[in-house]
Amino acid sequence: MHDPQSVRSMFARIAGRYDLLNRVLSCGIDQRWRRFCVKQVGDVRDQVVVDACCGTGDLSVAFERAGARVIGVDFTPEMLRFATPKVRDGRPTVFAHGDALRLPVATGSAVACTVAFGIRNVADRLAGMREMARVVRPGGRIFVLEFSTPPGWFMGGIYRTYFTKVLPLIGKWISGDGAAYRYLPETVLAWPKPDELQREMQDCGLEDCDHRLLTRGVACLHWGRVPGGGTA
């Protein structure tokens, strides 16, 4: 596990180029994944949605445009500086500096808590998912959008080659920080398979857990319901 302070420093260094790199490295598909996440959460108009590890706020803003009252939390202030200008004037979106293991949000106050491409960076992902569940009201859900490794030798082989050989070079060229884009493939390739993460979510006490592979398994959206309160 990488040291949290080192991870924070790494994201602080690349904050200014983070959005550009996301668009380039994913060919813009990352935005489509975020929109799919918003769609899966459902009607969030005038509902509180907590976006953990919100980074530069792309998913937070997607929920804001869907009418949610968003609380975005990230442990890197430099990333949050690029999130705030994306919010439209007058919208009830708040960005807060905080740790995903101790979200500065009241218990049971949100209809959903999401994390996009951030749970890999949390020191204890099970504790992180339990903390996400804490801030969600009974019957609400948590959603985890994360990179995955495509199944099969062909797609999996192409993906691994791109992730380990090509992506670090592009990342270093654009950001000037080679270490950050070596960290990304290291953590993604070590990430549990979708079925394994689904079991971990169940171990956290979540119900009705499921997942969907996106773009042939390059990414995966997981979700689980906080017990009680019926369905959300």
E strand segments, the chain: 48-52, 69-74, 94-97, 110-116, 136-147, 207-214, 219-225
Question: What does the longest C-alpha to C-alpha distance in the chain come to?
Answer: 50
Q: What is the pLDDT of residue 22?
A: 82
Region 222-231: what's the mean pLDDT?
Answer: 87
- DSSP assignment, residue 29? H
Region 200-213: what's the mean pLDDT?
Answer: 98
Name the one residue in this structure whose structure tokens are 């996009």: 116
| Topology given in CATH for the domain delimited by 4-11+27-147+192-225 | Rossmann fold (3.40.50)
Region 26-51: what's the mean pLDDT?
Answer: 95
Amino acid type, 68: A
Report domain extents, the chain.
4-11+27-147+192-225
Handedness of CA 37, 209, 51, 78 (dihedral sign): negative
For the cut 80, the answer to whether the pLDDT of residue 14 exceeds it is: yes
Q: What is the pLDDT of residue 232?
A: 47
Per-residue pLDDT of 90-99, as tens digits, reads 788 999 999 9
Per-residue pLDDT of 153-193, as tens digits, reads 777 788 888 878 888 888 888 778 888 888 888 888 899 99
pTM: 0.92
